[in-house]
Chain A
C-alpha cells in the first residue's frame, strides 16, 4: 500500500470500505494514458502517475474530511470528476489520493428561477435533458456531453451556442468550494443562506479565483456543488431518433433550424457574424472546418482517410461554410423573422444557403468530442483565443503556417486554419486550433509544437485565454502579467500551504520542460527554482 496504513484507515472511516481502495488493479484503472487528451505525449509520460489510492466521497462533508486527512498525513490529492480532461486531471506525484467525485451526482432544478444545482459527478447531457424537459437549456461545451458540468463550467467550456448564451463563467451561481486545506467556502448567495440563486459576492467575487483564466485544473480545492443558470428554450421537444452510431435529434422545424451557407471567403463569413450580432438574431453561428465535415461523412477511420486524402491546399483554402442556428425562442414567427433577416444579410455578401438536414448530432445534447480521436488516435486543441472577430482569422492562419514545420508528426491538414466563431452576440471572436497525430509515431515534434504555440502567442501578441495549465507559467506569466505567475503562486501558497492539492500544478508544465531532456533546448526563459511538493 502506497499510503500509510493509518492514513488509509482514516480514509476508510470517512467514505466506508466499499468506496476506497489502494488495490493495484483498482488504481491501474485510473491511469491517465495511454490515450486521451494530452496523452501519448511527453507530458503524460513524464508527469502522470497511477494513484496510490482512490476514494469516492458522497457528500461535501466527506470531501472536507478527506482533504483534512490528506493535510494531516501529508498525502497529495487530486480531484477527479470524469477523468476526461486527460493527463492534467490525474496525479502527478507518486502515492497520491485520487478523489473520484462521481458519487456526488445530485441534481435539482429550480424551474421558477431557472437554475440547476448539481454535484461534481453530474455530466452535461444529464443536465441538458433535465433542463430541456422543463423548457430550458444550457451550452454543452466542446469538451463533450460526457464531462462534468461543474468542471467544464470552471474551465470555461463553449460551443457555437455560446454565441447567444455567452461564456460559462457568467452562468455560475451559488457555489460550494472545499479549499485545499479542507475549509468550506460558499460563494454568492450561498454564503448567507441556503438559496444559491445568486453567484456574485459577498465582497470580492470569488468566482474569478475559482476559475482563473480557464480553471486551475484542481489545484485550488474541490468544487462540490454549483448552481448553474439555465436559459429559456423554445417549448417543443427535440426527438431522439436512429440507432447507434447514427443517432440524432429531430428538430421541430418551425422552432429550431440549422442552415449552412456557402460563403465566398472568410471575410464574408466574419461580416455575417458581425451583422447577425448587430441585428441580434441567431442562437449559434460558426465556421465549419472541412475536417469536421469529412469526419461527419466518413463511416469509419479508413473512409475518413480515403476522403481526406482527396483534399488539397486549394480545396481547404476555398472551403467557406458557415453554419447558423436559428431558434424561435418565443414563437415560430420569431424563427421566420430571423431567417428573413439572415437571408438579407447573407445574400449581399455572396452567400448561398445549402440543403441542411433538420437534425442535430453535435451541439444540443451530444457534443461528441471523443470522435476527435478516431482519425489519428492523438488529438489536442492546442490553442484557443477569445478576442475579436478580426483577430480570430489571422490567429488561425498564423498557426497553420507554424504547423507546417511540425508536420509530420502532426497529420497532414493542407494548411487548415482551424475554427472560428462569434461569442456573446459578436462581442467576442473565438479561434481554436486543433492538432492530430499518431501516438505510435515519435511525438517529440508535437511536444515542441505545443510549447512553440505559447511562444508564438507572445511573439505575435495573440492574446490567449488559456493562460493556465498547459503552458509553462514562468514563460507566460511575465509576458502577460507582468507578474501573473508570482501572484498565482502566492494565491496557491496562501490556500494550500502544505502543497497537497494536485502538486506541482500550477508549475507542472514548467517542471515537465525541466524533466524532459528533449524539451530543454527550447527553454529560453527563466524558470522557477523549485516546484511546491508536500
Chain B
C-alpha cells in the first residue's frame, strides 16, 4: 500500500479523511465513558447529539456528512450548516473517541468549519457580526475599546513584570468582577503583573467558527505584543482564552506550545501553585455546599499543542509516531484542590465530571448563533447541579458563568453561580 502524506493541519480537511472514514458508530463520543456511566440519567456528554437527537448531530453523523461533503456527494444546505455549527466544539467527542479509536474528531470538526468558510458558506450570520465587532472594536462584544480597562477600579498593574494578565473580552466588559478578583488575588499572592498596553480580542470566536485567516492575523499580533513585554508567563482567567493561547495559537501559527516564548497559565493553576507553596492563604471560611463545572477549554481541550506531519501507511499506522492529545492531562485537579482547601466548602461532584463533563453550551460561537441551544445546555447542567444538592455552582470561565447565571435567572432558581476567582478572593478575605 502506498503511504500517504498527512498532517494535523486543519486548513486542509483532506488530512482528516482517515478519521472521517473510520468511525464505527460506537458513539463513545456521545456517551459518558461507560466505566463512569451514572445510569439512565446524565448518560451523555455531547450537547449537540443530546439536544437534536438525530445521529447526524453526533460526531458519528458529522464524520459521515463531512466525508460526503469532501467527496462531493453532498452539498451545503441550511440543515448541514446547522449540523456543523450547532455544536459546542467542547471536545467531549474527541476524548470519547480516543478512549477506543484515537480518531482526531475535534480537529476534523474544526477543519470542516474552516472548509465551510473557505467555500463561502460559513460561518453563521451571527458570527459575521461578531467578526465585525472584533475588526472594528477589537472585542467580540461590540463594546467601546476605550472601556477595556474600566474594571481596574484603582488596581495598579506593574509597568514591568514576569506575569502578564490577559483579561479577555468577557471579563473586560461583561464580567469585570472576574478581572478584578483575578488582579486582587495576584496582589495578595505577591505576584506583580502587567497588562498588555493595548489588549485586543484573542480571536477565539474567529478560530472556532472557521475564520482561520482572521484568527491567524490576531494570533500573530497578540503573540508578538506579549513577547514585546518580556513577560515569561501569560495568565488567563478565561478558559476559552486559555485554550486559544495555549493550543490554537500554536496550531494556527505552525509552532508548538513550548515555542510560544512564554508559559500559558490559567488562574486555577497559579492559585493552586501559590496555595501549595504557602504564598496564598485561603483562611476565610465559606460555608457552602458547591459543585465544580469543568470548563471544556481548560480541561479536556487544554493539552499543549505540537505540530505533526508524516506518513500514514498500512493499517493506518503513522510515522513518525504521533503524541495524541486525549484530554488525559487537562486541568482537572488544581481547581478542585484549591476549592477543597477553603475552610467550610463542601465540594460535591456532579455525575458528569472532568473529561465527561457536559458543556455549559456557551462557548465557541454556540451562544451567538444558537442561543436556545446554549440555554438548553445550561438548563441540563443546572438539573445535574440540583441532583447533587449543591447550593452553588462554580466554574473557571466567564462564558460558563454568564450562561449559567442567565439560566438561573430564567428559571428563577436559588442557585448561586460563581467564578473560581470570586471564591478564591473571598477565601483570602478580599472584596470584589
Say which residue of B22, B27, B317, B327 sits within 8 Å of A82 (CB atoms): B27
B60 lies within 8 A of chain A by Cβ: yes
What's the minimum C-beta distance from A441 to chain B, rounded to whole angstroms? 6
Q: Is the CB of A21 within 8 A of B54?
A: yes
Report the bound CA distance from A39 to B26 in whole Å.
13
With A28-B74, A29-B56 in contact, do A244 and B355 touch (Cβ < 8 Å)?
yes
Q: Is the CB of B315 within 8 A of A25?
A: no
Q: Is the CB of B24 within 8 A of A84?
A: yes
Q: Mark B307-328, 1 if CB is under 8 A from A, else 0.
A: 0000000111111011010111
List the A side residues contacting B62 at CB < 8 Å: 29
With A29-B56, A35-B23 in contact, do A129 and B38 touch (Cβ < 8 Å)?
yes
Report the bound CA distance from A37 to B23 in whole Å.
10
Q: Is the CB of A146 within 8 A of B315?
A: no
Q: Mark B72-103, 1 if CB is under 8 A from A, else 0.
A: 01100101100100000000000110111110
Q: Is the CB of B100 within 8 A of A374?
A: yes
Report the bound CA distance from A376 to B1 in whole Å.
13
List the B side residues contacting A375 at CB < 8 Å: 315
Report the bound CA distance from A21 to B82 in whole Å.
14
Q: Is the CB of A35 within 8 A of B21?
A: yes
Report the bound CA distance from A48 to B96 in whole Å.
27
A444 lies within 8 A of chain B by Cβ: no
Tell me the nearest residue of chain B to A36, going by C-beta: B24
Q: Is the CB of B26 within 8 A of A245?
A: no
Interface residues of A in 25-43 (CB under 8 A from B): 25-31, 34-37, 39
List the A side residues contacting B101 at CB < 8 Å: 370-371, 373-374
B156 lies within 8 A of chain A by Cβ: no
Q: Is the CB of B53 within 8 A of A19?
A: yes
Report the bound CA distance from A373 to B317 in whole Å.
13
List the B side residues contacting A24 at CB < 8 Å: 74, 77
What's the minimum C-beta distance from A325 to chain B, rounded to whole angstroms? 17
Q: Is the CB of B61 within 8 A of A29?
A: yes
A347 lies within 8 A of chain B by Cβ: no
Report the bound CA distance from A127 to B37 in whole Å.
10
Q: Is the CB of B55 within 8 A of A100?
A: yes
B277 lies within 8 A of chain A by Cβ: no
Segment of B28-36, B169-177, B200-208 engaged in the interface with chain A: B28-36
Q: Is the CB of A371 within 8 A of B100?
A: yes
B40 lies within 8 A of chain A by Cβ: yes
Chain B binding surface, main DSSP class: loop
A492 lies within 8 A of chain B by Cβ: no
Q: Mark A177-196, 1 if CB is under 8 A from B, else 0.
A: 00000000000000000000
Report the bound CA distance from A82 to B30 in whole Å.
11
Q: Is the CB of A31 within 8 A of B64?
A: yes
Most chain B CB neighbours (cut-off 10 Å) among A30, A34, A243, A300: A243
Report the bound CA distance from A301 to B321 in whole Å.
10
A395 lies within 8 A of chain B by Cβ: no
Say which residue of A86, A105, A439 sits within 8 Å of B21 (CB atoms): A439
What's the minimum C-beta distance from A120 to chain B, rounded to whole angstroms? 13
Q: Mark A234-263, 1 if CB is under 8 A from B, else 0.
A: 000000101111111100000000000000
Say which residue of A125, A245, A440 sits within 8 Å of B99 (CB atoms): A245
A144 lies within 8 A of chain B by Cβ: yes
A483 lies within 8 A of chain B by Cβ: no
B57 lies within 8 A of chain A by Cβ: yes
Say which residue of B43, B55, B328 sits within 8 Å of A245 (CB atoms): B328
Q: Is the CB of B77 within 8 A of A146?
A: no
List the A side residues contacting B36 at CB < 8 Å: 240, 247
Q: Is the CB of A29 within 8 A of B99?
A: no
Report the bound CA distance from A192 to B301 in whole Å.
54
What's the minimum C-beta distance from A21 to chain B, rounded to whole angstroms? 6
Interface residues of B in 1-41 (CB under 8 A from A): 1, 21-28, 31, 33-40
Say which residue of A21, A28, A130, A368 sits within 8 Å of B68 (CB atoms): A28
Q: Is the CB of A368 within 8 A of B64?
A: no
B266 lies within 8 A of chain A by Cβ: no
B298 lies within 8 A of chain A by Cβ: no
Tell me the nearest residue of chain B to A243, going by C-beta: B328
List the B side residues contacting A37 at CB < 8 Å: 24
Q: Is the CB of B100 within 8 A of A370?
A: yes
Q: Is the CB of A244 within 8 A of B316?
A: no
B67 lies within 8 A of chain A by Cβ: yes
List the B side residues contacting A305 at CB < 8 Å: 315, 317
What's the minimum C-beta distance from B53 to chain A, rounded to whole angstroms? 6
Most chain B CB neighbours (cut-off 10 Å) among A29, A82, A377: A29
Q: Is the CB of B77 within 8 A of A23?
A: yes
With A84-B25, A244-B99 in contact, do A133 and B39 touch (Cβ < 8 Å)?
yes
List the A side residues contacting B251 at CB < 8 Å: none
Report the bound CA distance from A489 to B122 in whole Å.
51
Say which residue of B1, B40, B73, B102 sits within 8 Å of A301 (CB atoms): B102
Interface residues of B in 132-167 (CB under 8 A from A): none
Q: Is the CB of B21 within 8 A of A125?
A: no
With A54-B54, A243-B328 in contact, do A300 and B24 touch (Cβ < 8 Å)?
no
Q: Is the CB of A28 within 8 A of B328?
A: no
Q: Mark A10-26, 1 if CB is under 8 A from B, else 0.
A: 00000000010101111
Report the bound CA distance from A517 to B100 in whole Å.
35
What's the minimum C-beta distance from A302 to chain B, rounded to whole angstroms? 5
List the A side residues contacting B327 at CB < 8 Å: 243-244
B332 lies within 8 A of chain A by Cβ: yes
What's the minimum C-beta distance from B149 to chain A, rounded to whole angstroms? 39
Tell me the nearest residue of chain B to A147, going by C-beta: B26
Q: Is the CB of A146 within 8 A of B34?
A: yes
Tell me the nearest residue of chain A to B77, going by C-beta: A25
Q: Is the CB of B35 within 8 A of A247?
A: yes
Interface residues of A in 119-157 (CB under 8 A from B): 122-123, 125-130, 133, 144-146
Report the bound CA distance from A122 to B80 in whole Å.
28
Report the bound CA distance from A107 to B43 in whole Å.
13
With A31-B64, A370-B101, A371-B101 in contact, do A129 and B37 touch (Cβ < 8 Å)?
yes
Q: Is the CB of B54 within 8 A of A82?
A: no
List the B side residues contacting A343 at CB < 8 Å: none
List the B side residues contacting A369 at CB < 8 Å: 26
Q: Is the CB of A105 within 8 A of B315?
A: no
B385 lies within 8 A of chain A by Cβ: no
With A244-B328, A301-B315, A438-B314 in contact, do A83 and B55 touch (Cβ < 8 Å)?
yes
List the B side residues contacting A123 at CB < 8 Å: 31, 43
Q: Is the CB of A365 within 8 A of B315?
A: no
With A105-B40, A129-B39, A247-B33 in contact, do A39 and B315 touch (Cβ < 8 Å)?
no
What's the minimum C-beta distance from A424 to chain B, rounded to whole angstroms? 25
Q: 21 A–B contact pairs at CB < 8 A? A: A19-B53, A25-B56, A27-B56, A28-B61, A28-B74, A29-B61, A29-B64, A31-B68, A35-B21, A36-B24, A123-B31, A129-B39, A240-B35, A246-B328, A248-B35, A300-B321, A301-B315, A369-B26, A373-B22, A376-B315, A438-B316
Task: Given A84-B24, A129-B38, A368-B34, output 11 extra A-B contacts at Cβ < 8 Å.
Answer: A29-B56, A29-B61, A35-B23, A84-B26, A145-B34, A146-B28, A247-B99, A300-B102, A305-B317, A366-B35, A438-B1
Chain B residues within 8 Å of A, Cβ to Cβ: 1, 21-28, 31, 33-40, 43, 53-58, 60-62, 64-65, 67-68, 73-74, 77, 79-80, 83, 95-96, 98-102, 314-319, 321-322, 324, 326-328, 332, 354-356
